[in-house]
């Protein structure tokens, strides 16, 4: 069993989910404006991503989407004379498209996780041998559906909160919603992976020959 990626370690996930709320509370205490505090915590990750892009000369796809949506939200904020709605909607502008893309790929019978595994299989005979098993292919299809479902649910929840919750309460409400949705999604994903792995480890059952009356 492969080790979990460092980015998915529980303490890192907790920091990633709760840091925006902590940053918002600190910024709000310093500037006294909900919209300005929201602008600050929105621009912070973008500045970090830009610095990382310049230093490493590369940008991961998710980071590129995050950077693009942040720039669009900030420009919209400026053009609307400080309306924070664009900044609030941005919190769902990454997870919602990712979730819908994953779900669409399952409907089209081209699951994204399976496509990624097939790309790896081109350089790894071991991965190619595993993908030859139909059960593993179904496993990746199911995993794509679960991940896509909870990412889409998170994005939709963020959009609804952005349109219904006052700016002063939005960051706290959206953080609670995100922790809940993605937390349940993480539990469901871990359970599914462990259950399927147990099934894959079971030896195939031999068919029992029917008794014949002589």
Each residue's pLDDT expressed in tens, for the chain with a length of 214 residues: 445 555 556 666 777 778 888 999 999 999 999 999 999 999 888 888 888 888 888 878 778 888 888 999 999 999 998 899 999 999 898 899 999 999 999 999 999 999 988 888 888 888 888 888 888 889 999 999 999 999 999 999 999 999 999 999 999 999 999 999 988 998 999 999 998 888 767 665 555 555 555 4
> Cα torsion at 16, 20, 21, 25 (round to 10°)?
140
Contacts of 102 (CB under 8 A, 6+ apart): 111, 112, 113, 144, 145, 147, 148, 151, 152
Rounded Cα distance, 127 and 38, in Å = 44
In the prediction, which pLDDT does 18 show? Answer: 85
In the prediction, which pLDDT does 205 show? Answer: 58
- Chain centre to alpha carbon of residue 103: 13
- List the structure tokens of 2: 């492969």
Rounded Cα distance, 94 and 120, in Å = 25
| Contact of 19 with 41, CB cutoff 8 Å | no
In the prediction, which pLDDT does 160 show? Answer: 96
In the prediction, which pLDDT does 192 show? Answer: 93
Query: Which DSSP helix (H) or strand (E) runs through 82?
Result: none
How many Cβ atoms are within 10 Å of 187's Cβ, its own excluded? 11
Of the candidates 98, 92, 65, 71, the one whose C-alpha atom is nearest the C-alpha of residue 161 is 92
Rounded Cα distance, 102 and 189, in Å = 14
């Amino acid at each position: 069993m492969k080790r979990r990626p460092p980015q998915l370690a529980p303490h890192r996930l907790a920091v990633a989910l709760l840091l925006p709320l902590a940053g918002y509370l600190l910024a709000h205490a310093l500037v006294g404006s909900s919209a300005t505090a929201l602008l600050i915590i929105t621009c912070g990750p973008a500045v970090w991503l830009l610095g990382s892009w310049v230093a490493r000369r590369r940008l991961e796809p998710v980071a590129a989407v995050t950077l693009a949506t942040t720039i669009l939200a900030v420009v919209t904020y400026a053009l609307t004379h400080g309306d924070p709605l664009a900044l609030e909607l941005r919190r769902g502008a990454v997870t919602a498209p990712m979730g819908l893309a994953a779900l669409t790929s399952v409907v089209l019978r081209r699951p994204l996780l399976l496509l990624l595994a097939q790309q790896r299989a081109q350089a790894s005979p071991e991965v190619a041998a595993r993908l030859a098993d139909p059960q593993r292919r179904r496993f990746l299809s199911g995993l794509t559906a679960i991940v896509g479902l909870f990412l889409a649910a998170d994005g939709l929840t963020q959009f609804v909160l952005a349109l219904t919750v006052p700016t002063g309460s939005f960051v706290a409400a959206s953080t609670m919603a995100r922790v809940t949705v993605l937390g349940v999604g993480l539990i469901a994903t871990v359970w599914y992976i462990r259950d399927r792995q147990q099934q894959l480890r079971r030896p195939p059952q031999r068919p029992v020959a029917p008794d014949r009356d002589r």
